[in-house]
Amino acid sequence: MNSRVNPMRVTTPPDSKRSMACLPARPGQLAGAEGIESELPSLDTATIRRDFPILQRQVHGKPLVYLDNAATSQKPRRVIQALVDYYEGMNANIHRGVHALAEEATDAYEAARQRIGRFIGATEPAEVLFTRNTTEAINLVAATWARENVRAGDDILITAMEHHSNIVPWQWVAERQGARLKYVEFGPGGEIKLDEVASLLTPRTKLVSMVHMSNVLGTINPVADVARLAHDAGALMLVDGAQSVPHLPVNVADLGCDFLAFSSHKMLGPTGVGVLWGRRDLLDQMPPFLGGGEMIDLVGRERSTYNALPWKYEAGTPNIADVIAFSTAVDYLSELGMDRVRAHELELVAYALEQLGSVPGITLYGPDALQRRGGVASFSIEGVHPHDLGQIVDYEGVAIRVGQHCCQPAMESLKVGGTARASFYVYNTPDEVDTLVRALLQAQEMFS
């Protein structure tokens, strides 16, 4: 059997030969399962790596090989410095003070909103709402828009590959309001079919909420096509962009979605900051999420009126320093160029799938076609528990993710208890893939 990853899962026998179909011909050229190529200039990973202080450290006496980027990314020095600069030079609350520090902090915070909005193609900064993370952004829609618009007998459509943060809020809506939660199943290639989506849409469908890029399979879903189907059926479209916005060029107009949620910490920024982008006409109509300071206009003893967008949804003192640092991370990615970020990761995942395919007894999960997958390689090795794999490769300085990846329904569909996952970003190299493969071969030999 050919060791090149085939749709969904292929177990590679020990004597299999490596396919060359996935190997990049040269830096900057991508050769995928369907022959796609890109002549974009390659990222200078040697220079990029010097920007990340943590990559200089050792783990168990070995150089750190960080391949857990789908969980959280590392931070460049300029992002770390942005936090220091805020606390050393302008630490003050925003929007409320007239003194110099308050005005400087307010200007920096609102400038961050503008830059992050431009990064995703928002038409105006007021459509960008700051939350704590992607999970809170999705919950905001569930607690406000869905509360007002979903009724008994209505449908909410999601997929079987969703992260728990895009399942549990809709389960709550369905339970609370008597709606039905429907699932689009993914096929043997780890992909959904548009005709199945269309078959599940009815006049009672109020929302389709779908991950753009799967954190387990690496699948890049055709969300723009799904959005068109949803709108034709009279439904809205929410896109979970936690994995896609850090790794692909994303423009909300191109996606055609109504809401987009994503997080700072997966795209070189600090933890504790997320974004919900929404169409202004929807946000204007939705009720507030939390009550308190900043989100109000006038407060009386019996009732209150609310602030304008976006502050209607940002009650209390926000995470000022981390929002400002997030915009620094966005600037860093913009300077690299998201097309080049995507090209770099395609090269890496192509090489990784090829090299992983040489490990005896390995099963690889996800789409065969490179242009329909991101920089994620999930796998299992026959006879070796994923947690054992994670511990053994950690002794070699390699950080990967193991377990269910907050996607238990997807694991049920795959009929596995969990997987190991390597995920790549702008600072990863083919040499690090080789280190991972050597560590996996050691693990396989140990348990064989």
Our measurement of the distance from residue 383's CA atom to the centroid of its chain's CA atoms, rounded to an integer in Å, reads: 30
Please tell me the distance from the alpha carbon of residue 257 to that of residue 208, in angstroms, as a whole number.
10
Rounded to whole angstroms, the maximal C-alpha distance in the chain is 77
Helix/strand/coil for 168: helix
Question: Which structure tokens are listed for 9?
Answer: 């899962």
Our measurement of the distance from residue 184's CA atom to the centroid of its chain's CA atoms, rounded to an integer in Å, reads: 20
- The region of weakest confidence among 177-181, 304-308, 334-338, 439-443 is 304-308
Residue 167 has pLDDT above 70, yes or no: yes
What DSSP assignment string belongs to 52-63? -GGGG-EETTEE
Residue 441 has pLDDT above 90, yes or no: yes
Provide the Cα torsion 86, 90, 94, 97; round to 10°. 170
Strand partners, 142: none
Residue 30 has pLDDT above 80, yes or no: no
Is the C-alpha dihedral spanning 389, 390, 394, 395 positive or negative?
negative
**Predicted confidence band at 315 (pLDDT cuts at 50, 70, 90)?**
confident
% of the chain surpassing 70 pLDDT: 91
Output the average pLDDT for the chain.
90
CA atoms within a 13 Å half-sphere pointing along the CA-CB vector of 66: 18
Report yes or no: 216 and 243 within 8 Å, Cβ to Cβ: no
Residue 1 has pLDDT above 70, yes or no: no
- The region of weakest confidence among 29-43, 251-265, 419-433 is 29-43
Please tell me the distance from the alpha carbon of residue 155 to that of residue 7, in angstroms, as a whole number.
30
Angle between helices 338-356 and 320-336 (to 10 degrees): 80
Residue 317 has pLDDT above 50, yes or no: yes
Please tell me the distance from the alpha carbon of residue 131 to that of residue 241, in angstroms, as a whole number.
14
Q: What is the pLDDT of residue 41?
A: 78
**Helices and strands, counts by H and E, the chain:** 15, 18
% of the chain surpassing 90 pLDDT: 79
The C-alpha R_g of the chain, in whole angstroms, comes to 22
* HEC per residue, 360-414: CCEEEEECCCHHHECCEEEEEECCECHHHHHHHHHCCCEECEEECCCCHHHHHHH
Integer CA distances (angstroms), 285 to 15, 292, 349, in order:
62, 19, 43
Higher pLDDT: 11 or 201? It is: 201
What DSSP assignment string belongs to 273-335? -EEEEE-HHHHHHSPPSS-SSSSEEEE-SS-EEEPPTTGGG--SS--HHHHHHHHHHHHHHHH
Task: Write out pLDDT tens, residues 287-300.
Answer: 998 888 787 878 88
Residue 20 has pLDDT above 60, yes or no: no
Report yes or no: 321 and 309 within 8 Å, Cβ to Cβ: no
Mean pLDDT score, 235-247: 98
Question: Which structure tokens are listed for 350?
Answer: 């192509």
Which segments of 68-179 are extended strands (E)?
Answer: 128-131, 155-159
Report yes or no: 361 and 382 within 8 Å, Cβ to Cβ: yes
Please tell me the distance from the alpha carbon of residue 296 to that of residue 293, in angstroms, as a whole number.
6
Q: What is the pLDDT of residue 192?
A: 95
Prediction pTM value = 0.90
Strand partners, 65: 398
Residue 255 has pLDDT above 80, yes or no: yes
Question: Which structure tokens are listed for 180?
Answer: 């039905």
Please tell me the distance from the alpha carbon of residue 266 to that of residue 329, in angstroms, as a whole number.
10
Residue bearing tokens 């080049």: 340
Q: Could you list the active site residues?
A: 406
Task: Write out pLDDT tens, residues 76-131.
Answer: 999 999 999 999 999 999 998 899 999 999 999 999 999 999 999 999 999 999 99
Report yes or no: 444 and 361 within 8 Å, Cβ to Cβ: yes
Neighbours of 121 (CB within 10 A): 15
Angle between helices 338-356 and 430-447 (to 10 degrees): 30
Helix (H) or strand (E) segment spanning residue 419: strand 419-423
Q: What are phi and psi of 207, to 5 degrees?
A: -150, 140
Helix/strand/coil for 181: strand
Delineate the domains of the chain, giving CATH numbers in brackets.
8-69+337-447 (3.90.1150.10), 79-335 (3.40.640.10)
Is the C-alpha dihedral spanning 226, 68, 217, 3 positive or negative?
positive
Q: What is the pLDDT of residue 38?
A: 56
Tally the residues of the chain: 448
